[in-house]
């Protein structure tokens, strides 16, 4: 065989390989979770599942720590097709009214309760609401049960929050809830919270242990009060339009992995709750158990307001409560 023929064959192989690489879809997954967070672990597990099945067709690439934008920016970038996935939680109450139900204090009792709620309302209530805004949910994961940290004093009852400048996510119902308790809620992007705590712009914040630990809030906070006031699901979110444009077999893999990753997320979250609380205590933050009954009693007005905030709101509350244990 002539050398020129060999070289031509090699060149053709290189071109074909380059073409194949160029055709491999790059699916970007942006989220706000820091290294060591539940969000990071969840996104990485989803990517592992998807990439193992996608082979040379596509690759999920994860970008944490708000590298591709904060939650509100990621919602915009989904619609523009600049990212394929994001992992919003509390911010979803600003996307569609129905998601505000998960902002109601103590409405979700545990993860088994959340599974029953998901089965009852995801496709009938939440999916239509989010599709009307141009999105689609392909997995329900979690952010977790939220607790309060601050630099003033332990929080035992709602009155202890009087006047405390408390960072909240950008969701109307969380703000209403903490105003009701007497705090001075300050909506702020997660990526800005550490510096705001460090410089005294705010006194405290509220998040699950995994977010508190991975963001190192224990380094700039004196007190951790175990309130468990809200359970926030995390939603594996895509643009309905751009997701539908992907090849069907790719969509199928991503939807399957989105669903299957939930077990991993819930198991990991449960383990982290135990491990990270221990780590936080060892790190020197003072921990106390809050009087949850006092918080539940103080929460009645926010439920009343939510129940009349849009058509079907009270039905959503009633459905979720009916699925709790012992109902």
**pLDDT tens digits for range 277-305:** 999 999 999 999 999 999 999 999 999 99
Rounded (5°) CA angle 132-248-141: 55
Give the tens place of pLDDT for each residue, 162-218: 999 999 998 899 999 999 999 999 999 999 999 999 999 999 999 999 999 999 999
d(CA 156, CA 268): 28
Query: 306: pLDDT confidence band, cut at 50, 70 and 90?
Result: very high
d(CA 81, CA 69): 14
Q: What is the pLDDT of residue 217?
A: 97
**Region 139-144 average pLDDT:** 97
d(CA 193, CA 126): 29
d(CA 107, CA 173): 13
Q: What is the pLDDT of residue 17?
A: 42
SS3 for 187?
strand
Residue 19 pLDDT > 50 = no
d(CA 250, CA 150): 45
Q: Model pTM?
A: 0.90
User: Residue ranges per domain, the chain?
Assistant: 25-101+108-322
User: Which CATH superfamily, name and number, covers 25-101+108-322?
Assistant: Bacterial extracellular solute-binding protein, family 7 (3.40.190.170)
Query: 78: pLDDT confidence band, cut at 50, 70 and 90?
Result: very high
User: Does residue 284 or residue 17 have the better pLDDT?
Assistant: 284
Phi/psi zone of residue 144: left (φ > 0), alpha (ψ -120 to 50 degrees), beta? left
């Amino acid at each position: 065989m002539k050398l020129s023929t060999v070289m031509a064959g090699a060149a053709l192989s290189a071109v074909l390989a380059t073409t194949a690489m160029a055709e491999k879809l790059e699916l970007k997954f942006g989220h706000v979770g820091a290294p060591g967070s539940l969000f990071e672990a969840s996104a990485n597990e989803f990517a592992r599942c998807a990439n193992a099945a996608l082979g040379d067709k596509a690759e999920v690439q994860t970008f944490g720590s708000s590298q591709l934008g904060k939650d509100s920016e990621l919602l915009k970038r989904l619609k523009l097709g600049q990212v394929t996935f994001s992992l919003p939680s509390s911010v979803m109450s600003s996307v569609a009214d129905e998601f505000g139900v998960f902002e109601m204090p103590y409405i979700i009792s545990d993860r088994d309760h959340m599974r029953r709620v998901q089965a009852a309302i995801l496709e009938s209530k939440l999916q239509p609401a989010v599709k009307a805004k141009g999105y689609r949910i392909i997995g329900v994961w979690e952010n977790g049960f939220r607790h309060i940290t601050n630099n003033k004093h332990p929080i035992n009852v709602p009155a202890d929050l009087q006047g405390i400048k408390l960072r909240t996510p950008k969701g109307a119902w969380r703000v209403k809830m903490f105003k009701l308790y007497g705090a001075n809620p300050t909506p702020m992007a997660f990526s800005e919270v550490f510096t705001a705590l460090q410089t005294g712009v705010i006194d405290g914040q509220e998040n699950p242990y995994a977010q508190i630990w991975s963001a190192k809030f224990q380094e700039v906070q004196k007190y951790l009060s175990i309130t468990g006031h809200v359970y926030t699901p995390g939603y594996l979110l895509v643009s309905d339009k751009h997701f539908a444009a992907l090849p069907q077999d790719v969509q199928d893999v991503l939807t399957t992995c989105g669903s299957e990753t939930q077990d991993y997320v819930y198991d990991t979250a449960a383990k982290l709750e135990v491990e990270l609380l221990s780590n936080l205590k060892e790190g020197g933050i003072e921990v106390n158990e809050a009087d949850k009954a006092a918080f539940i009693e103080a929460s009645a007005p926010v439920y009343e307001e939510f129940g009349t905030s849009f058509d079907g709101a009270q039905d959503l509350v009633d459905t979720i409560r009916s699925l709790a244990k012992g109902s």
